[in-house]
Amino acid sequence: MVGGQGFDGGPRSAIVIGAGIVGLSTAWFLQERGVDVTVVDRSGVAAGASWGNAGWVSPALTIPLNQPSVLRYAFTALRDPKSALHIPLRADPGLAAFLVRFAANCRWSSWRRAVQANVPLNEECLEAYDVLTANGVDAPTTDAPITAVFRSPRQAEHLLHELRQMQSEGQPVTATTLSGEELRTHVPLASPAITAGVSIEGQRFIDPGRFVHALACSVRDRGADIRRLDIRRVSTSRTGVEVRSPAAAPVTADAVVVATGAWLSELISPPVRVAVRAGRGYSFTVPVERAMPCPIYLPDIRVACTPYQGAMRVAGTMEFRGPDEPLAPRRIGAILDSTGPLLDGVRWEERSDIWVGPRPVTPDGRALIGEVSRGIYVAGGHGMWGLAHGPVTGRLLAEQITTGKQPVALRPFDPRR
C-alpha cells in the first residue's frame, strides 16, 4: 500500500482494524470518499459483538447505562447469581478501576450528557443504513415497533419515565401504552403474567450477522482487501501509520482506524484515558409456535427478543469478564429462568446458536470516536448500541479522516477527553 496525500489533502489509503459493523461501515464510507482501504481482523467478519446481538436499530432506546439507579441494582445483583448483571468477585485491578469510574459517572449530569451526545447519531442512524442498502449492501432492514412488556402497569411506568427523560434531553420518542387484546395482538407470545405493554414506534431490526457479511461483500466488491490478520502494534512512521503482525510484514497507510470493540484499548499506546471494558452479552435462538410480528423488550430482566430466521433470538445479560473468556452456561440458564414465565409458545428446550459476545462499554456512557494521534483513529465503546450507531459512526469518522475537521456531532465522543 503506497502512502501519500490525496489531491484535497486527505489520505489516499487507510487500514481499518476490525471487521464488525463499526469497522466495515467506516471502511465503506472511506471508500465513498475515494480512499483505498484494507480491512484486517484477527478472527474474520462479524466475529465479535456484531454477530449474536439482538439486531435492534432502535434510536429511541439508546438509554445510557449510567443512571443513578444502576448503582442500587448493581449491589442487589452481586447477591443474585441469576441477575442480568454479573460482576465476578475476583482480583482484577483493571476491572475494579473501571467500575469505580463507572460508579462516579452514575449521576444525572453524566447521564444527560450521554443522552445529548447520542441525539445527533440517532437522528442520522436510520438514514445511514438506508445509504448502505441503497448502494450495494444486499441485506434487509425491517421497520417495526419494539414492544416492551411488563407484569404490571406500575412496572411499565418506569420505562415511560425513562423515555420522558430522553425526550426532555432532545431525543424524539413515540410510545403508546398497551393492555388487553391490543397487547396480545402486538405480542402473541406474551404469557398471562404479562398485563401491560409499551409500543415504541419508528424502530427497526435486522439479522446482524447477515447484514455485516453483506456489508463486507460490498466493501470487497468496491475494491478493498479484507484479510484475517492479528495486529499487535500500531505506530506512526516516516511514511504514515504502520501496523504490525507476527504473521506478516508491516503494512503502512496514511491512516489507521482501530475498531476492535472490547479489545480497542490493547492497540493504542499510550492508551486512551477513557477505558473500554467487555460487557459480555449472551444470546440463543428458539423456535416459536405463535406469530412474532415485532421485537419484544423485557426491561425488568434486561432481555431482548427478536424475530430471527423464522424463530426468535433471545439476548440478554451484562457480564463483566474478559472478552476472550469461554461462555458461561449458567448465564444462559439465568436468561431462561427469568424469561420463561413471561413468554408462552416458545420451545425453550430446542435452543440453538448459543453465543457470547463482548460489547465494548465505557464508564461515562459515550463512545470513543476520533483521532488519538497523528493518523491514528479509534471507533468503539458504543456499549449495547454499536449496531444502531455503527453506520453513522463510520460516515462521520470518514468525514473527519478525509477533511481533517472534526464533525460537531463527534465532539462529545472525542477519545482524548
E strands within 299-366?
A: 303-308, 311-319, 352-361
**CA-to-CA distance for 227 and 107, rounded, in angstroms?**
43
Residue 407 lies in a domain: yes
The pLDDT score that the predictor gives to residue 269 is 74
Structural domain for 401, as ranges: 13-413
Residue 59 lies in a domain: yes
How many CB atoms are closer than 10 A to CB 373? Answer: 14
Cell of 273: 484515558
The pLDDT score that the predictor gives to residue 398 is 98
- Residues recorded for the chain: 417
Residue 192 lies in a domain: yes
The pLDDT score that the predictor gives to residue 108 is 96
Residue 8 lies in a domain: no
The pLDDT score that the predictor gives to residue 92 is 85
Q: 97 by DSSP, 3-state: which? A: helix
Residue 33 lies in a domain: yes
Average pLDDT, the chain: 93
Domain count, the chain: 1
The pLDDT score that the predictor gives to residue 266 is 85
Residue 7 lies in a domain: no
Residue 1 lies in a domain: no
Q: Which of 38, 18, 13 is nearest to 267 (CA)?
A: 18
Residue 189 lies in a domain: yes
Low-confidence ranges of the chain (pLDDT < 70): 1-9, 75, 77-79, 81
CATH number at residue 253: 3.50.50.60
Max CA distance (Å), the chain: 68
Per-position b or e across 5-15, b if 16+ CB within 10 A of its CB: eeeeebbbbbb
136 phi and psi angles, rounded to 5 deg: 115, -10
**CA-to-CA distance for 318 and 51, rounded, in angstroms?**
16
